[in-house]
Amino acid sequence: MKIYVTSVFVDSQDKAEKFYTEILGFTVKHNISLGESRWLTLVSRDDPEGTELLLEPSDHPAVGPYKEALVEDGIAAHSFQVQDLDAEWKKLSGLGVKFVTEPMDVGPVHMAVFDDTCGNLIQLVQIKNAGPE
């Protein structure tokens, strides 16, 4: 068994698609109209057959309070692994990404947290002493 798709709840699929593709560098895998929303999945450019990230509309009434509580408590909803966190932090900061936690060491990882502009905090993680991803 393996993870096929995972969701991130977003306030606007259009805004999220732009941020996740143009700023973070993901590519669109599926973009299927479902009326007012889309089945919109993204994949890593480095792993086009890997796990898909579904940009899920935040329509369900439970989603708003859930996301707000996580952000208020500083909890990242999702975690993405990078090979060189400091380089990624510098690149994304230069593109205007707002980091709520700057790079720091936490046990076996080097991590930072940013605001995805769509209502979520996302953690970037570099595994210390790890080889290529």
Q: What residue ranges do the domains of the chain occupy?
A: 5-127
Q: Walk across the sheet containing 27-34 and list its strands.
A: 5-10, 52-57, 37-43, 27-34
pLDDT in tens, the chain (133 residues): 999 999 999 999 999 999 999 999 999 999 999 999 999 999 999 999 999 999 999 999 999 999 999 999 999 989 999 999 999 999 999 999 999 999 999 999 999 999 999 999 999 999 998 555 4
pLDDT of residue 130: 57
pLDDT of residue 6: 96
Tokens 């690149």 locate to 91
pLDDT of residue 8: 97
Look up the CATH number of domain 5-127: 3.10.180.10
pLDDT of residue 48: 96
pLDDT of residue 131: 54
Residues 6+ apart with CB under 8 A from 68: 119
Cα distances (angstroms) measured from residue 39 to each of 63, 69, 74, 118? 18, 26, 28, 17
What is d(CA 20, CA 24) in angstroms, rounded to the nearest whole number? 5
B/e letters for 8-45, b = 16+ CB within 10 Å, e = fewer, are bbbbebeebbebbeebbebeebeeeeeeeebbbbbbbe
Q: Which amino acid is at 127?
A: I
